[in-house]
Amino acid sequence: MDHFLYRNGELYAEDVPVAEIAAQVGTPFYCYSTATLSRHFRLFDEALAGTEHLICYAMKAASNLAILKTLAELGAGMDVVSGGEYARAKAAGVPGERIVFSGVGKTRDEMRMALEGGIRQFNVESEPEMAALNEVALSLGMRAPITVRVNPDVDAKTHAKIATGKSENKFGIPIARAREVYAEAAAMPGLEVVGIDVHIGSQLTELEPFRLAYEKVADLTEALRADGHDIRRLDLGGGLGIPYTRSNEAPPLPMDYGQLIKETVGHLGCEIEIEPGRLVVGNAGILVSEVIYLKAGEGRDFLILDAAMNDLIRPAMYDAYHDIVPVREPQPGAEQAAYDIVGPVCESGDTFAKARMMPGLAQGDLVAFRSAGAYGAVMASEYNTRPLVPEVLVHEHQFAVIRARPTFDEIINRDTIPEWL
Ligand SMILES: *Cc1c(COP(=O)(O)O)cnc(C)c1O
């Protein structure tokens, strides 16, 4: 459920007509709903009620400061995967003790930055990383709190580019080697083992892979405790999927996911962390675009939009499906036509949908891509020197531009010409 609904014949974001934002901000732009964001965060919080927990929002899904601050004020921690994200989390006012640092290639500079600024834990993904972190922590006279990310060799049954929990993936250390690696960690004076981490992939539409992974983590917890490690925290990753179409079967609910967590690891007495990204922000955002041209082709008509693959890359990168709806509500029973919906970028991959049935549209009409809040704006680029797409946040009847569209001068002036030219 989200807060982008038709009212009086047009699409609203909470209490603001989307067309009104478009008139002020220009298209394309991303628009997020505070109520939807908050609601999704609270669903996780409620799902883990009764268990000591921290929800560390995986901010790579959408990392605008205003989004981070909205969630931080509800009590969210942050899962960061780079020094830049760490700096953003701090800039949004998130205290270090609520930030976990994930990622397979943390640099020493990033480690130093997080240790100096405060960190809840590093989720370490390899032995060389462990050795580097030990050195950096010792050089600062500190001990770095760590979990080791284990790879449980579970098939997440999701798109290959976002599956991370099989042994062929680059993530984590094989769970079969975990006891050996934890023994090495315990012998490093700059590290303090606090728990175990696992994350098996994104856009999971079934609970079963989570169950298999968490059962393995529960067994490992007991084995590591028997080896003398103080395993007091379990980071269970993110990955719960969202519905991208209104017709397909519903992915599991956070409440059922929470139940599964309690069933599989609840008896261990560990503090639970989860790192949801997509489910928090995915359906809390839309991408609004204008139809530039309607172009008749052979056997198909092209709807050429002012949004392109540089603004929303998911269809090109993951074959992702997004519902695309007109901002003016279609009349009931309005005739539909099949369109190929494309952007202006000079690549055939700049195609959002093929033979998509849509009510008749004309030049100048606005459309909205639904479920575009996660992995949308954050993956945008300025390819074709198209200005980075702006972001807007709605809160009831108010809205604010939370990232402005850069001018051409701002874009061009980031380049410098060497003195020999
Ligand atoms: C991407 C990622 C997440 C979030 O995944 P979602 O599918 O957006 O919930 C959580 N943890 C880690 C380590 C990740 O890489």
CA of 238 to the centre of ligand 1 (A): 5
Is the CB of residue 237 below 6 angstroms from any atom belonging to ligand 1? yes
**Whether pTM exceeds 0.75:** yes
Locate the ligand 1 atom nearest the alpha carbon of residue 197 and give its number: 13
Is the CB of residue 275 below 6 angstroms from any atom belonging to ligand 1? yes
- Interval 23-66: pLDDT, tens: 999 999 999 999 999 999 999 999 999 999 999 999 999 999 99
C-alpha distances (whole Å) from 386 to each of 8, 287, 309, 362, 370 are 34, 16, 11, 23, 22
CA of 202 to the centre of ligand 1 (A): 6
Asked whether this chain's domains 4-31+282-412 and 34-280 adopt the same fold, the reply is no
CA of 277 to the centre of ligand 1 (A): 6
- Interval 348-396: pLDDT, tens: 899 999 999 999 999 999 999 999 999 999 999 999 999 999 999 999 9
- Interval 133-184: pLDDT, tens: 999 999 999 999 999 999 999 998 888 888 788 777 888 999 999 999 999 9
**Which runs of E-coded beta strand occur in 191-276?**
191-197, 233-235, 271-274
Q: Which token pair is 103?
A: 């990622």
Q: Which residue type sits at 73? A: E
User: Angle CA(151)–CA(196)–CA(184) in degrees, nearest 5?
Assistant: 85
Locate the ligand 1 atom nearest the alpha carbon of residue 279 and give its number: 9
- Interval 98-135: pLDDT, tens: 999 999 999 999 999 999 999 999 999 999 999 999 99
3-state secondary structure of 46: helix
Is the CB of residue 158 below 6 angstroms from any atom belonging to ligand 1? no
- Interval 191-248: pLDDT, tens: 999 999 999 999 999 999 999 999 999 999 999 999 999 999 999 999 999 999 866 6
- Interval 270-307: pLDDT, tens: 999 999 999 999 999 999 999 999 999 888 899 999 99
- Is the pLDDT assigned to residue 1 strictly greater than 80? no
Is the CB of residue 70 below 6 angstroms from any atom belonging to ligand 1? no
Place of tokens 């298209």: 27
Class of the 34-280 domain?
alpha beta
Is the CB of residue 277 below 6 angstroms from any atom belonging to ligand 1? yes
pLDDT on residue 300: 85
The answer to whether the beta carbons of residues 79 and 236 sit under 8 Å apart is no
pLDDT on residue 249: 63
Strand partners, 57: 78
Q: Which residues contact 416 (CB under 8 A, 6 or more apart)?
A: none
CATH 2.40.37.10 fits 4-31+282-412, yes or no: yes
3-state secondary structure of 377: helix
Is 394 exposed, middle or buried, given 0-12, 13-18 or 19+ CB atoms closer than 10 A? buried
**Which runs of E-coded beta strand occur in 113-240?**
121-124, 144-151, 173-174, 191-197, 233-235
CA of 171 to the centre of ligand 1 (A): 12
Locate the ligand 1 atom nearest the alpha carbon of residue 60 and give its number: 1
Is the CB of residue 156 below 6 angstroms from any atom belonging to ligand 1? no
**135: number of Cβ within 10 Å:** 14
Is the CB of residue 197 below 6 angstroms from any atom belonging to ligand 1? no
Dist CA 303 CA 13 (whole Å): 24
Where are the domains positioned within the chain?
A: 4-31+282-412, 34-280
The answer to whether the beta carbons of residues 57 and 277 sit under 8 Å apart is yes
Tell me the best of 44, 102, 198 to mutate to test the pocket of ligand 1, counting ligand atoms within 8 Å of each CB and taking the most: 102
**Which runs of E-coded beta strand occur in 85-202?**
99-101, 121-124, 144-151, 173-174, 191-197
CA of 82 to the centre of ligand 1 (A): 13
Identify whether 346 is a catalytic site residue.
yes
CA of 292 to the centre of ligand 1 (A): 35
pLDDT on residue 195: 98
Tell me the best of 275, 375, 378 to mutate to test the pocket of ligand 1, counting ligand atoms within 8 Å of each CB and taking the most: 275
- Is the pLDDT assigned to residue 70 strictly greater than 70? yes
